[in-house]
Amino acid sequence: MTTFLEQLETPVPVVDLDRMALNLDRMAAYATLHGLQLRPHVKTHKSPRIAAEQLRHGAVGLTCATLREAEVMSEVCDDILIAYPPVGAARLERLACLPDDVQVSVAADDANALPALSLAAKLGRREFRVFVEADMGMHRVGVASPEKAVALARAISDSSGLVFGGLLFYPGHIRQDVTQQTAPLAGLTTDLARYLDALRDAGLPAPVVSGGSTPAAWRMHEVPGVTQVRPGTYVYNDRTTAAIGACHWDDCALTVLATVVSVAVKGQAVVDAGTKALGREPIRADGDGFGALLDHPEVIVSRMSEEHGILDLSKSDWKPRLGDLVRIVPNHVCIVVHLFDEIIGVRGHAVETRWPVAARGRGPSTDSIESGPSRPRAV
């Protein structure tokens, strides 16, 4: 018996499977067209099922942030980059214990991290590929100069169990804004060339140059030297991605289904999706609120409590009634996924499938992950 959207308990994240398929296709086509490696970041979906789809679409491997993500994804992928500093004994031990046949890469910005990483390689009887992470203007992590990049690449090469994997950066400050000045991209091009030249001159050419979040991914072919992109959000997209022009509104595949639970206060309606369902992420573009209705984009979630979302009706002639269902496009979809244990997949209004957010959480996965074809294991 078919279950329909209208029968679901709210709040719940719902993925339009047709839209997701188009999103997967589109990024794969872009990467192939421009000869870029695609190494999607799984932080957005945290699901081995979606990761397997990305690999079928030609991804060369996966990008993870947490060890839980890496452990879960090792069930479907044997080439995993943990784009996160390898610091802390517990993190290193889990890194060492990933399945033997998984090629593990990490990103580092500090030579002081290398001795412990080298010990972890010994503990795991394996080799880690280590990328030098450079700060290209986001000022989050990353070495600050080509000289420091060279010194770190050399220290990696000199460390037992470690192999210099290439240069990695996260261009979180660059966005696909239709009004975007070309300056940031020009700056990135110049800076990157300095890093790549310095590494080459030192006899340590970068085998891989990895950049590109979803907002910047579509422009990475304009930056000479980049060989790989690591977009995450593109699988679902969100209100921010649409607002900056990196996707269309109709490409937003994940919405939070919510119920109107109060219309008592004038000029607004209240739904059962608040901070604990939507997060409290600002839109990173022009616009207010924490989400907008898929079918009434002029209606935004203007305020929230933990379990209440306040819909501002002042710009709309839509008249919600108690019990009405709405679909909210969140500002930042990666946060929404992290707030739920399960995702509902729909085709039109019909529920077709559900899957667990298997890599949510921190510790080792205690549940066996969803069934399905695993990757063949080396023996």
Residue ranges that bind a second copy, judged by CB under 8 A: 8-12, 43, 65-66, 84-85, 87-88, 90-91, 109-110, 112-113, 135, 139-144, 148, 172, 259-266, 268, 270, 272, 275-276, 279-282, 303, 305-308, 310, 321-323, 334-335, 338-342, 361-363
Q: How far apart are CA 177 and CA 219, in angstroms?
A: 11
Supply 246's token pair: 């990196």
Instruction: CB nearer to a second copy: give 205 or 361.
Output: 361
Helix ranges (DSSP H) in 89-142: 89-96, 114-123
314 in helix, strand or coil? coil
Q: Are 122 and 109 in contact (CB under 8 A)?
A: no
Q: Which is nearer to a second copy, 294 or 357 (CB)?
A: 357
Closest approach of Cβ 27 to a second copy, in Å? 19
Shortest Å distance, C-beta 281 to a second copy: 6
Token pair of 327 as six digits: 């679909």
CB closer to a second copy, 28 vs 211? 211
Q: Minimal distance in Å, beta carbon 301 to a second copy? A: 13
In the 8-state DSSP scheme, what is residue 4? Answer: B
**Any idea which residue has 């579509």 for tokens?**
218
Q: Give the residue with the Cβ less far from a second copy, 57 or 148.
A: 148
- Tell me the CA end-to-end span of the chain in Å, nearest whole number: 43
- H/E segment holding residue 237: none
Q: Least distance (Å) from a second copy to the CB of residue 91?
A: 7
194 and 134 in contact (C-beta within 8 Å)?
no
Q: How far is the CB of 190 from a second copy (least distance, A)?
A: 20
Neighbouring residues of 40: CB distance < 8 A, sequence distance ≥ 6:
27, 51, 54, 59, 62, 63, 230, 231, 232, 234, 235
* Nearer CB in complex with a second copy: 28/168: 168
When the beta carbons of 26 and 173 are compared against a second copy, the nearer one is 173
Rounded to the nearest whole angstrom, what is the least distance from the CB of residue 152 to a second copy in the complex?
10
DSSP 97: T
- Strand 37-38 and strand 162-168: the pairing is unpaired
Which residue, 29 or 350, is less far from a second copy as judged by CB?
Answer: 350
Are 172 and 184 spatial neighbours (Cβ–Cβ below 8 Å)?
no
To a second copy, the closest distance from the beta carbon of 373 in angstroms equals 25
With beta carbons less than 8 A apart as the criterion, state whether 336 and 256 touch: yes
Query: Cα torsion at 72, 75, 81, 86 (round to 10°)?
Result: 50
Nearer to a second copy, 88 or 207 (CB): 88
Alpha carbon 259 to its chain's center:
28
CB of 4 to a second copy, least distance (A): 13
